[in-house]
Amino acid sequence: MDSPFGLLAELTYRCPLACSYCSNPLNIAEYSDELGTDEWLRVLAEASELGVLQCHLSGGEPLLRRDLVDIVAGAHDVGLYTNLVTSALGLSRSKGEQLRAAGLDHVQISIQADEPAASDAIAGTPSFHRKIEAMRLVKELGWPLTVNVVLHRYNIERIAAVIGLAEEVGADRVELANTQYYGWAWRNRDALLPSRSQLEAAETVVRAARERLRDRMEVVYVIPDYYSRYPKPCMGGWASRQLTVTPNGDVLPCPAAQSLPLPRASVREDPLERIWTGSPVMTAFRGTGWMPDPCRSCPRREVDFGGCRCQAFQLTGDAARTDPVCHLSPDHDLVVRAVEAANLPARARGVPLIPRPHGVARRARPGS
User: Is 298 annotated in some ligand binding site?
Assistant: no
pTM score? 0.93
- Does the structure show a pLDDT above 50 at 253? yes
Start-to-end CA distance of the chain, whole Å, equals: 34
* Strand bridging mode 6-10 / 81-86: unpaired
| Nearest Cα residue to 50 out of 11, 5, 1 | 5
Q: Residue 1 has what pLDDT? A: 61
Pick the residue with more confidence: 365 or 153?
Answer: 153
* pLDDT tens string 160-187: 999 999 999 999 999 999 999 998 999 9
User: Is 19 annotated in some ligand binding site?
Assistant: yes
| Nearest Cα residue to 362 out of 10, 14, 3 | 14
* pLDDT tens string 9-37: 999 999 999 999 998 888 888 899 999 99
Amino acid (one-letter) located at 303: V
* pLDDT tens string 268-322: 999 999 999 999 999 999 999 999 999 999 999 999 999 999 999 999 999 999 9
Q: Residue 359 has what pLDDT? A: 56
User: Is 22 annotated in some ligand binding site?
Assistant: yes
Rounded to whole angstroms, the Cα distance separating 288 from 291 reads 6
- Does the structure show a pLDDT above 50 at 364? no
Mean pLDDT of the residues in the chain: 93
> CA gyration radius for the chain?
20
CA 326 remoteness from chain centre: 22
